[in-house]
Amino acid sequence: MKPEKKIAVFAGSFDPFTVGHLDLVNRGAKLFDELYILVAVNASKKYMFSVETRKAMIEKACCDLKNVKVFSFDGLTTTFMKNCGAKYLLRGVRNGSDMDYELSVGWNNKTLYPECESVYMASAPEHLAVSSTVVRELLKCGIAKNKAGRDKLAKYVPAEILPLVVEFGGPK
């Protein structure tokens, strides 16, 4: 009997994708046969980057990872998981507050989809302060206007997508 593929989903808004996200994807890709990055689509939420741009950024940053695929989906993560046969949900945690939140979400996901096992991965120490929110705030404040600012932004965003982040998220 052939063993079942271990398929995991890493879901989020990724607005934008950060070095912290990429670190989790690199580590998660080693644990699972397939890792699906699911870009959230929520009509009631205002994003800095379109779903198409977010998806393109992630595909560019993860292009060397052969077992990683990027999707967008308008609906519950557990519905997407059922549809693609995934049984694992990869979640990153930076601190105790993140863990409290993720445990609650994990319980709800398990209620909606009993086969769902949440796998919590601690952020690498160098990425504890990295978040999409911080990147968006830096962009809103004009950090991308000059080379020195873009060099600082490179500590938060994968090098492969920095030009896209600057182009699509820079000052309007």
Q: Which residues are part of the catalytic machinery?
A: 21, 45, 94, 132
DSSP state of 123: P
Q: What is d(CA 79, CA 85) in angstroms, rounded to the nearest whole number?
A: 10
Buried b (16+ CB within 10 A) or exposed e, 67-76: bbbbebbeee
Q: What is d(CA 170, CA 89) in angstroms, rounded to the nearest whole number?
A: 32
> Which helix (H) or strand (E) element contains residue 117?
strand 117-122
